[in-house]
Amino acid sequence: MSGPYSYPSYEASKAALGRFARSVARENAPHGIRANVILPGVIDTPHVRRFIDAETPPEALDRKRAALVPMGRQGTAWDVANAALYLASDEAAFVSGIELRVDGAMSA
């Protein structure tokens, strides 16, 4: 679980969220409260595009970012939203304390 560059504080905070979710899940399970973490990979969002070099053609950058992902494409906000919807649904009623990676197999 790491970011695209070496950002120790970013990576540490992501790791801490997983531990936090497990602790919260364990403590609150008797009350029917679940806690999970979604860990997105390379996701194409307007926020990410703000940091892109303006001189690089968007198509070239999209290909470069997609090449980082074993599934061959960048994720979308819908991919992350669908993971959140699953975790919030009745189908995930017995799912708690997990880190759900939505990263196209980058962390596999």
Task: Report if residue 46 sits inside a domain.
Answer: yes
**Average pLDDT, rounded, for the chain:** 90
Tokens of 96: 């708690």
Kindly report the three-state secondary structure assignment for every residue of 6-31: CCHHHHHHHHHHHHHHHHHHHHHHHH
Q: What positions carry a catalytic annotation?
A: 10
Report percent pLDDT > 70 for the chain.
90
Give, for 38, the enclosing helix (H) or strand (E). Answer: strand 37-40
Confidence of residue 2 (pLDDT cuts 50, 70, 90): low
pLDDT at residue 29 greater than cutoff 70: yes
- In the chain, how many domains are there? 1
Q: Phi first, then psi: give them for residue 54, nearest 5 degrees.
A: -65, -20
Q: Is residue 2 part of a domain?
A: no
Q: What is the pTM of this model?
A: 0.83
Encode pLDDT of 38-69 as tens digits: 999 999 988 777 776 667 777 888 888 899 99
Average pLDDT for 94-98: 98
Judge whether 36 lies within some domain. Answer: yes
Q: What is the CATH number of the domain that holds 95?
A: 3.40.50.720
Residue 20 structural domain: 8-102
- The confidence score (pLDDT) of residue 90 equals 98
Q: Is residue 38 domain-resident?
A: yes
Cα(51)–Cα(82) distance, integer angstroms: 25
